[in-house]
Amino acid sequence: MSLTHARHPTEDPPWARWTILALVLGFLALMLILPLAAVFAGALRKGLEASLAAISDPDAISAVKLTLLVAVIAVPFNAAFGICAAWAIAKHYFPGKSFLITLIDIPFSVSPVVSGLIYVLVFGAQGWFGDWLIDHNITIIFAVPGIVLATIFVTFPFIARELIPLMQEQGVAEEEAAVSMGASGLVTFFLVTAPNIRWGLFYGVLLCNARAMGEFGAVSVVSGHIRGLTNTMPLHIELLYNEYDFVGAFSVAALLCLLALVTLALKTGLELTQSVRGRHV
């Protein structure tokens, strides 16, 4: 038998390879690319100008601003939380560790609407802290703080989940080496731990950011849908859609898609530079 016909033991025969590939590509086209194309087609149905007008509407602009503001607060907060949680879980032993890991998963397993309702129950006018908050003139529900809180809650597992396995795999030997050479805890973190987790952290930040900008359910419950004040982009899209302003809805949706695509492009770009520098990492 000639070598060209020899197949690697883990390699599938060509018909199987092509069938699987066709299935995957077909599924992606139907479920992902087609709807994405539909969004852009819907946005441009009455021409680019109508679409741009919908985006530059003051309410739309305030929705974009609010979405970015929420992401800018929620992502750094969850980055800090994720690093702390992963540090505690991966580098230390303490009782109740697996329980903590389970707790971190709660936002993933609970419906976002329920997450939103929790905050209404706690901080709403009829909630546990309702009277106290009213007495002190603090508004959380149906205002920006509530939206930020709900977004943080829904997105906090992303970065922690990305970092925990990474840090567990890396162990503590490098940190021990640094400390035994006289480095302080902070120096060890910034010179040894941080460079080792930077790609995982970055990836987690991107995922967290994408979800923070796109979150609908939890935000919808706590927002109150006040146009120009407490509407994020996803809420604004729903509002426009329900008013039969399809061009407006699809235009803002297309903008949200573009933001997500920018995030993805950033990630891909970084992965490319990482594989170029890969031998050093």
Partner 1 sequence: MSEPSDAPPMTISIEGVEKRFGRYPALNGVSLEIGHGELLALLGPSGSGKTTLLRLIAGLEFPDRGRVLFDRDDVTYLHAAARQVGFVFQQYALFKHMTVAKNVAFGLDVRRKNKPPRAEITRRVDDLLKLVELDGMGPRYPSQLSGGQRQRVALARALAVSPRVLLLDEPFGALDATVRKSLRRELRHIHDATGVTTIFVTHDQEEALELADRVAILNHGRIEQIGTPAEVHDHPVSAFVCGFVGEANRFEGVVERGLFTAGPVMAPAPNVADGPAVAFVRPHDLSIAGPADGFETHVGRVVPQGATGRVEAQTLDGRWIEADFARDQLVGLEHGTALRLAVKQAHVFPAS
Q: Measured from the CB atom, is 26 or 195 closer to partner 1? A: 195
In the complex, what is the shortest distance from the CB of residue 281 to partner 1, in angstroms, rounded to a whole number?
Answer: 6
196/263 with CB nearer partner 1? 196
- Taking each helix axis from N to C terminus, what angle separates 233-242 and 58-91, rounded to the nearest 10 degrees? 140
Identify which of 207, 193, 177, 218 has the alpha carbon closest to the alpha carbon of residue 267: 207
Shortest distance in whole angstroms from residue 167 CB to partner 1:
14
Choose, by CB under 8 A, the member of 5, 92, 136, 280 that binds partner 1: 280
> Which helix (DSSP H) or strand (DSSP E) does residue 146 occupy?
helix 144-170
Q: How far is the CB of 280 from partner 1 (least distance, A)?
A: 5
Per 3-state DSSP, the chain is made up of helix, strand and coil in percentages (nearest 5) of 80, 0, 20
Q: Which is nearer to partner 1, 22 or 187 (CB)?
A: 187
Question: Nearest distance from residue 90's CB to partner 1, in Å?
Answer: 16
Minimum gap (Å) between residue 204 Cβ and partner 1? 19
Helix axes 58-91, 246-276, angle to 10 degrees: 40
CB neighbourhood size of 106 (10 A): 12
Exposure letters 34-65 (e unless 16+ CB within 10 A, then b): eeeeebbebbbeeeeeebeebbebebbebbbe
Please say which residue, 17 or 198, places its beta carbon nearer to partner 1.
198
For residue 107, the minimal CB distance to partner 1 (Å) is: 32
Answer whether 115's CB lies under 8 Å from 216's CB: no
Cβ closest to partner 1, residue 65 vs residue 198: 198
CB of 275 to partner 1, least distance (A): 14
| Residue 154: partners with Cβ closer than 8 Å, 6 or more residues away | 107, 112, 115, 211, 215, 217, 218
From residue 56, alpha-carbon distances to 225, 228, 269 in Å are 19, 12, 30
Residue 62 or 196: which CB sits closer to partner 1? 196
Q: Does 281 bind partner 1 (CB under 8 A)?
A: yes
DSSP designation for 31 = I
| Number of shown-chain residues binding partner 1 (CB under 8 A) | 19
Q: Is 135 helix (H, G, I), strand (E, B) or coil?
A: helix
Q: Which is nearer to partner 1, 35 or 165 (CB)?
A: 165
Residues 163-202 binding partner 1 (CB under 8 A) are 173-174, 176-184, 187, 191-192, 195-196
Binding site for partner 1 (CB under 8 A): 173-174, 176-184, 187, 191-192, 195-196, 279-281
